[in-house]
């Protein structure tokens, strides 16, 4: 009875499962294989700005491709899910399509880097499924290119902005250095040797100027003494001429010159006057290289040349005719008359008096020139003292300027290094951008396009039929066991309560024929179900696992 019930239940379940499985719609799956094409140019030559690995980039691209807008466009282009649109809203249809798309990485990685990945799409129409899979592959390729270009262009623009900022800061630092050098010119560390040389020169000039002032003061004293003597001599000559002029004139007659009387004084030539000035200049301590000495020498040479020309011209002129006696007497009388009526001043200015006056004038001129020279050198001494003080202050400020300049230079060096680094990065980014635009960088390429599938991928009818048959068999055994439990039979001592005593235990009686058949006949239905389940369930589970892992 139980055997028949189990058989009927198994047959009914198997038949129902077969009918249901046969009515299920067939779904086809198409896959497109996309190759991860590495960068054509070695990284040692051009470093790519895209540093994210393929897995992370693929996850980001998948989120973008599987967005509602992208999938809705694909659905509209291929007319997918027309039947579902009657009962489902747009978001549900997009979610349904998203569940039909699968992105998987290929096995056989190199250094944990996938060389390719697959995009699979499942649908009811095999031709449309292949077209959708290829469209999804192209979307992945285009989105990868757009993402890489956007990333490198954004990086390039950012680096260009940073480069301009770094250049601006560097220009400001250079302007600051120029302004600092202009403001503190003469106190800079690199000018220390020049400052020291100027200080030594000024100190030497100050010492020389002091010596020149001392010599000028000494020369002035000598000139003043000489002036005193010259004025005394002049006064004596004036007194003598005054006394001679006050004497009564001699009787008229021929003028007879006293041979013992002094000869009239000779008038100094221009060259001789200049030679006196030259001697006074040398007496004041002027050397041969002094400008005043050189000027006097030139004027002396010019005066002598002029005097020689005048002497030569006078020698070449015809001698004057001797005067007649009457004319001579008339001239002598006129001269005597002029001398008689001449004022005393004219008499005093003749001869040695004129020479003495000229010498006094020369000495006074030299004293005046000496005083001017002393005044000029005194002013020069003050200027040199101020210049020395200024140079000493500059020399004192050099260490301070050196510290300030070192800080400015350090800032400038830091900004310059930053600018050079940003310039190199910006240049590298531009090269990387050009490489991306020329498609020489890493990119996705279709390795194997999706083909129209020849058989459905799901449902797996043999597997579903086997599962339904197994479920029917198990259900039959469960129903049989339940019937046995309702017959109020005691199957063993284990069903009794713990406090119930067991009076006698009858062992199982084996059939006479023995063997496996006899053993099976002697088992209860529960034991038979346990044995069958222990054998069939692992086998079916192994078949399901093998079909799931190896059949896909």
- What is the pLDDT averaged over residues 233-247? 72
Q: What's the pLDDT at 224?
A: 85
Among 552, 456, 453, smallest CA distance to 130 is for: 453
Give the pLDDT of residue 485. 63
pLDDT for the residue numbered 57:
84
**pLDDT score recorded for residue 105:** 84
Distance of CA 358 to the CA centre of its chain: 81
| Number of residues in the chain | 552
State phi, psi for 120 to the nearest 5 degrees: -115, 140
d(C-alpha 364, C-alpha 273), whole Å: 13
Indicate if the pLDDT at residue 27 is higher than 60: yes
Q: If you average pLDDT over residues 77-86, what whole number do you get?
A: 89
> What tens digit of pLDDT does each residue of 51-70 get?
677 788 888 889 999 999 99
Contacts with 344 (C-beta within 8 Å, 6 or more apart), sequence order: 241, 242, 245
State the average pLDDT for the chain. 77
Of residues 76 and 511, more confidently modeled: 76
In this structure, of 82-96, 278-292, 370-384, the range with the lowest mean pLDDT score is 278-292
| Residue in 237, 105, 123 with CA at minimum distance from that of residue 229 | 237
Which is more confidently placed, 259 or 369?
A: 369
Best mean pLDDT range from 38-47, 386-395, 452-461: 386-395
Which of the given ranges, 112-116, 238-242, 248-252, has the highest pLDDT on average? 238-242
pLDDT of 101 strictly over 90: yes
- Give the per-residue pLDDT at 331: 45
When pLDDT is averaged across residues 524-551 and rounded to a whole number, the result is 58
Q: Which of 241-250, 348-357, 413-422, 515-524 has the lowest mean pLDDT?
A: 515-524
Does the pLDDT at position 417 exceed 50?
yes
Kindly report the backbone phi and psi dihedral angles of residue 99, in degrees, each rounded to the nearest multiple of 5, phi listed first: -75, -20
Decide: helix, strand or coil at residue 120. strand
Give the integer Cα–Cα distance in Å for 376 and 389: 20
Q: Does position 547 have pLDDT exceeding 60, yes or no?
A: no
Instruction: State the average pLDDT over residues 464-481.
Output: 76
For a pLDDT cut of 90, what percent of the chain falls above it?
A: 17
pLDDT score recorded for residue 249: 55
Residues 422-436 pLDDT 10s: 898 888 888 877 777
Contact predicate 189/402, CB 8 Å:
yes
Beta-strand pair 101-105/443-448: unpaired
Does 87 have pLDDT greater than 90? no
Check pLDDT > 60 for residue 211. Answer: yes
State residue 420's pLDDT score.
92
Lowest mean pLDDT among 144-158, 431-445, 471-485, 510-524: 510-524
- Per DSSP, helices labelled H in 322-460 are 325-341, 344-348, 352-437
- The β-bridge partners of 33 are 118, 448
Contact 112, 56 (CB under 8 A): no
pLDDT for res 170:
92
Lowest mean pLDDT among 77-91, 157-171, 198-212, 501-515: 501-515
Burial of residue 354 (CB within 10 Å: 0-12, 13-18, 19+) is middle
- The answer to whether 452 and 127 are in contact (CB under 8 A) is yes
- CA-nearest of 8, 19, 7, 4 to 465 is 19
| CB < 8 Å & 24+ apart, contacts of 397-403 | 397/184, 397/187, 398/187, 398/188, 398/189, 398/191, 398/192, 398/195, 401/184, 401/187, 401/188, 401/189, 402/189
All structural domains of the chain, each given as residue ranges with its CATH number in brackets, are: 1-24+459-552 (no CATH), 191-246+266-314+335-418 (1.10.287)
Q: Is the pLDDT of residue 416 over 50?
A: yes
- Per the model's pLDDT, the better-predicted residue between 168 and 307 turns out to be 168
- What's the mean pLDDT in 197-205? 90
User: Does the structure show a pLDDT above 70 at 452?
Assistant: yes
The mean per-residue pLDDT over the stretch 121-144 comes to 92
pLDDT band at 336 (very low <50, low <70, confident <90, very high): very low
Write out the DSSP string of 267-309: PPPHHHHHHHHHHHHHHTT--TTSHHHHHHHHHHHHHHHHHHH
pLDDT at 352: 72
For residues 170 and 163, give the distance between their C-alpha atoms in angstroms, rounded to a whole number.
10
């Amino acid at each position: 009875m139980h055997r028949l019930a189990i058989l009927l239940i198994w047959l009914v379940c198997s038949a129902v499962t077969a009918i249901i499985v046969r009515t299920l719609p067939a779904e086809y799956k198409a896959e497109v294989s996309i190759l991860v094409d590495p960068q054509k140019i070695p990284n040692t030559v051009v470093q790519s700005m895209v540093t994210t690995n393929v897995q992370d980039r693929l996850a980001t691209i998948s989120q973008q491709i599987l967005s509602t807008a992208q999938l809705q466009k694909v659905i509209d282009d291929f007319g997918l899910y027309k039947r579902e649109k009657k009962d489902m809203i747009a978001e549900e249809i997009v979610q349904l399509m998203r569940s039909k798309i699968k992105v998987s990485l290929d096995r056989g990685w190199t250094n944990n880097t996938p060389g390719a990945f697959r995009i699979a799409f499942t649908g009811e129409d095999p031709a449309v499924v292949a077209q959708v899979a290829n469209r999804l592959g192209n979307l992945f390729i285009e989105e990868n290119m757009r993402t890489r270009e956007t990333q490198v262009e954004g990086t390039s623009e950012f680096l260009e902005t940073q480069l301009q900022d770094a250049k601006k800061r560097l220009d400001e630092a250079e302007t600051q250095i120029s302004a600092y050098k202009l403001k503190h010119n003469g106190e800079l560390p690199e000018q220390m040797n020049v400052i020291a040389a100027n200080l030594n020169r000024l100190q030497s000039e100050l010492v020389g100027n002091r010596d020149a002032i001392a010599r000028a003061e000494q020369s002035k004293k000598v000139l003043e003494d000489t002036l005193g003597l010259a004025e005394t001599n002049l006064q004596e000559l004036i007194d003598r001429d005054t006394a001679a002029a006050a004497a009564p004139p001699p009787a008229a007659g021929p003028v007879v010159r006293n041979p013992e009387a002094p000869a009239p004084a000779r008038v100094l030539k221009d060259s001789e006057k200049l030679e006196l000035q030259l001697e006074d200049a040398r007496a004041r301590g002027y050397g041969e290289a002094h400008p005043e000495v050189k000027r006097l020498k030139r004027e002396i040479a010019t005066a002598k040349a002029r005097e020689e020309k005048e002497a030569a011209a006078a020698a070449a002129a015809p001698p004057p005719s001797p005067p007649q006696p009457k004319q001579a007497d008339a001239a002598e009388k006129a001269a005597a008359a002029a001398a008689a009526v001449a004022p005393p001043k004219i008499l005093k200015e003749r001869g040695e008096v004129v020479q003495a006056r000229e010498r006094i004038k020369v000495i006074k001129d030299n004293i005046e020139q000496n005083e001017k020279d002393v005044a000029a050198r005194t002013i020069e001494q003050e200027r040199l003292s101020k210049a020395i003080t200024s140079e000493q202050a500059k020399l004192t400020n050099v260490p301070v300027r050196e510290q300030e300049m070192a800080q400015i230079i350090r800032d400038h060096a830091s900004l310059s290094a930053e600018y050079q680094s940003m310039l190199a990065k910006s240049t590298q980014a531009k090269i990387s951008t050009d490489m991306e635009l020329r498609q020489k960088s890493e990119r996705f390429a279709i390795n194997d396009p999706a083909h129209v599938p020849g058989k459905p991928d799901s449902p797996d009818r043999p597997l579903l039929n086997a599962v339904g048959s197994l479920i029917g068999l198990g259900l039959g055994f469960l129903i049989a066991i339940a019937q046995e439990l309702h017959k109020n039979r005691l199957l063993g001592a284990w069903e009794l309560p713990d406090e119930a005593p067991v009076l006698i235990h009858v062992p199982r009686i084996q059939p006479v024929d023995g063997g496996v058949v006899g053993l099976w006949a002697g088992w209860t239905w529960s034991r038979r179900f346990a044995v069958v389940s222990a054998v069939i369930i692992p086998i079916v589970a192994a078949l399901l696992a093998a079909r799931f892992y190896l059949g896909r």
